[in-house]
Amino acid sequence: MKNFIFLLCILSFLMSISQNTVDKNILYKKIDTINVLVQEREIEKANSISAEIQKKLISFDTNTKLNILYKLSLSYLHHSYNDEAKKILLTTIPEIKHSNDNEINGKLYKQLCYIGIIEYDIPSATKYYELSKKYFNKTSNSNLQFNLDLLVYKMYLNLKKYDTALKIANTCYSKSLQTKDSTQSIDALSALIDYYKAIKDYKNVLTYSKKGIEISSAGFLNSYSYFLEEQSNVYIHLKKYDSATLYFKKAYHAVSKDTSPFHNYKAWRINKIGAELYTLLNDKENAIKHLDLTSEYPFENNLKEQSEYIFFKAGIYEKLGNFDLALKNLKLYLNLKDEIEKKEAQKYLIKYTSLYESIEKEKKINSLIKENHEKEILIYKSNLKRKFTLFYFTILFIFTILSLYIWYHFKTKKILIKAENLRFQSVIDAQEKERIRIAKDLHDGLGQNICAIKMICSNSLDLENKSNLKLLHIIDETYEEIRNISHNMMPSVLIKKGLIPAIKEMIEKIEHSSNIFFDFEYDCSNKIEEDVSISIYRIIQESISNIIKHSQATKVKIKLGKERKNHVLLIKDNGIGSKDLSIANLINEPDSKTQKLGIGLKNILSRTKMIKGNIHIDSSVNQGTSLKIFF
């Protein structure tokens, strides 16, 4: 009987593994479908299947889940749908912490680094590069770190930070020589050639292309043609046409044997070189022959590249004496240039329209703020009038019926306190709602407009111009500032995840931007109500702000827990303290004339009052300050 039960358990286990494998294979097939749909630009259908896949990932282990999400992001990234890929990749970040697969973790961060480079978001690209590097260093696969370094090398080369780019390329080449990996050597040599071409150092281009020819000739035919082509190009620049012809013919022969997916592009490129070379040699027949072979143009979706190629053809025909074709291509070039300029003008129109809309939105926000301020003044006047009315009736009542004075006095005071608490509660609620609304408007309105401005500028401006780069940098800083303001007004994590994650996030951000070390402890067995959570969050936020401004502290301890039936919040620092705060008890008395309170402390006392709490502050000179709230 026991053996029978044991066999049943094994059979059940095997069936569960088999079922999991089937489910995984189904998901991979759906990812292949998404790849086809994205290629055909049916994004809505692709996104629908993508959402369905992500819902089904709950039943899988972390490593499998991350691997599926990685392949899913590639389906979008391979076809330049970077926003969709980025959304998928960002969902993997919390899961990476629980994964022990260093290779897939590094690959996910590498893809985020690549997107950062494309979007010219250099801070993000650098951050994800470091994270990817950390995981790749834990693997035994040296190719992963090598390819990551070459990716970052291209970023620095495009930014014209030549010193950094050269340092990375040389490091990669040195590593390839140590590992004796021919594929790595070819990639590193290609990087060095691109660098020396960018600075027009043709002597070094010759040196490294010769090394590339030597390595790639031993079985790497797809790369062999590239290095021969670079040799021919350099000799054309140096006007050594015999050598240029020799290497051109070798490259042409190598391309004819090329079997890579880029064969058509390589054939177009080598024939373009042939047309230029034979034109310079006054060999009209061969020049026309190679020019005709470039008719299958590989840049049909890139108007700028297409216009440059047409201008190249016009120049070739002019040098060959065929002025009719030269004029025809020149006209095509001018027409295409007009089309490009119209599209550029349209981009500028969109840009300035967006700017105008953002200015109008800002005016509306200011108008709403002014309107709310006026409403607050009306509420204040109304309350003041009511207080005076109650005061006069109280005096009249006291003088009229002296026997009921004590009862009436306490009753009236109780009503006033309740009314005041209700008023204060409504003002606080209104402020929090306004914070949420303004934060949303800032993030969804101004934030999106600034992203649009940055995209337009990136596509339309000459990024080699330092002023334009500075403009993009300013746009990035503006966007980051708006995000920070929006987040400070109402952190999304407080609404979505609750008080403890929100406090943790606040502390992490402050630790990154200051020299203060935080020690946060919490023990909340009972869930704290939403209104109370917001007040506690604001009290901690205000307290930390005061510590940063005034205390000169290096350590802050925050503790949120329970004592008997009450919740307790403790905030203690090791700062310089203050004799003005050395008061045994401040129990909800923000208006006391004997206490010199700043706006920050008044806000803390008001928030404490709203949650019906008591506050105790203890502070001595050079002994730090501790704040304790029972609620």
How large is the average pLDDT for residues 483-487?
60
Query: What confidence score (pLDDT) does residue 220 get?
Result: 79
Query: What confidence score (pLDDT) does residue 352 get?
Result: 56
Q: Are residues 456 and 497 in the same domain?
A: no
Q: Are residues 483 and 366 in the same domain?
A: yes
Per-residue pLDDT at 97 exceeds 60: yes
Q: Which of 117-121, 216-220, 232-236, 259-263 has the highest mean pLDDT?
A: 232-236
Any domain includes 228: yes
CA pair distance 299, 289, nearest whole angstrom: 21
DSSP symbols for 75-120: HHHTTT-HHHHHHHHHHTHHHHTT---HHHHHHHHHHHHHHHHHTT
Q: Are residues 477 and 501 in the same domain?
A: no
Instruction: Name the average pLDDT for the chain.
Output: 78
Say which residues have a Cβ less than 8 Å from residue 273's Cβ, sequence separation at least 6.
Answer: 229, 232, 233, 236, 248, 251
Per-residue pLDDT at 311 exceeds 70: yes
DSSP state of 591: T
Query: What confidence score (pLDDT) does residue 594 get?
Result: 45
Whole-model pTM?
0.47
Q: Are residues 466 and 527 in the same domain?
A: no
Q: Give the count of domains, the chain.
A: 4
Instruction: Lowest mean pLDDT of 74-78, 356-360, 433-437, 568-572, name the range.
Output: 433-437
For 518, list phi and psi in degrees, rounded to 5.
Answer: -110, 140
Per-residue H/E/C for 135-197: HHCCCCCHHHHHHHHHHHHHHHHHCCCHHHHHHHHHHHHHHHHHHCCHHHHHHHHHHHHHHHH
Q: Are residues 532 and 425 in the same domain?
A: no
Q: Are residues 511 and 379 in the same domain?
A: no
Q: Are residues 516 and 624 in the same domain?
A: yes
How large is the average pLDDT for residues 240-264?
83
Query: What confidence score (pLDDT) does residue 423 get?
Result: 65
How large is the average pLDDT for residues 578-593?
52
Residue of 226, 212, 164 lying closest to 184 (CA atoms): 212
- For the beta sheet containing 624-630, the strands, ordered from the edge strand earlier in sequence to the opposite edge, are 517-522, 555-563, 566-573, 624-630, 614-620
Q: Are residues 476 and 508 in the same domain?
A: no
The last residue of one of the domains, among 281, 298, 315, is 298
10 SS3 class:
helix
486 or 115, which is more confident: 115
Q: Are residues 18 and 105 in the same domain?
A: yes
111: containing domain: 1-140
How large is the average pLDDT for residues 563-578?
86
Distances (CA, A) of 453 to 232, 447, 461, 541: 42, 10, 11, 33
CA pair distance 446, 479, nearest whole angstrom: 8
Q: Are residues 520 and 393 in the same domain?
A: no
Q: pLDDT (tens digit, 9 = 90+) per residue, 127-162?
A: 988 899 899 888 888 788 888 888 888 888 888 888
Any domain includes 465: yes
User: Largest Cα–Cα distance in the chain?
Assistant: 124
The last residue of one of the domains, among 448, 471, 489, is 489
Per-residue pLDDT at 214 exceeds 70: yes
Confidence label for 558 from pLDDT (cuts 50, 70 and 90): very high
18 or 605, which is more confident: 605
Residues 354 and 453 sit within 8 Å (Cβ to Cβ): yes
Per-residue H/E/C for 434-454: HHHHHHHHHHHHHHHHHHHHH
Per-residue H/E/C for 354-376: HHHHHHHHHHHHHHHHHHHHHHH
Residue of 292, 299, 298, 267 lying closest to 278 (CA atoms): 292
The last residue of one of the domains, among 489, 509, 535, is 489
Query: What confidence score (pLDDT) does residue 354 get?
Result: 57
Say which residues have a Cβ less than 8 Å from residue 429's Cβ, sequence separation at least 6.
Answer: 531
CA pair distance 304, 337, nearest whole angstrom: 8
Any domain includes 32: yes
* H or E stretch at 271: helix 263-280
Residue of 13, 22, 90 lying closest to 56 (CA atoms): 22
Q: pLDDT (tens digit, 9 = 90+) per residue, 437-479?
A: 665 555 555 656 676 676 677 777 666 777 777 777 777 767 6
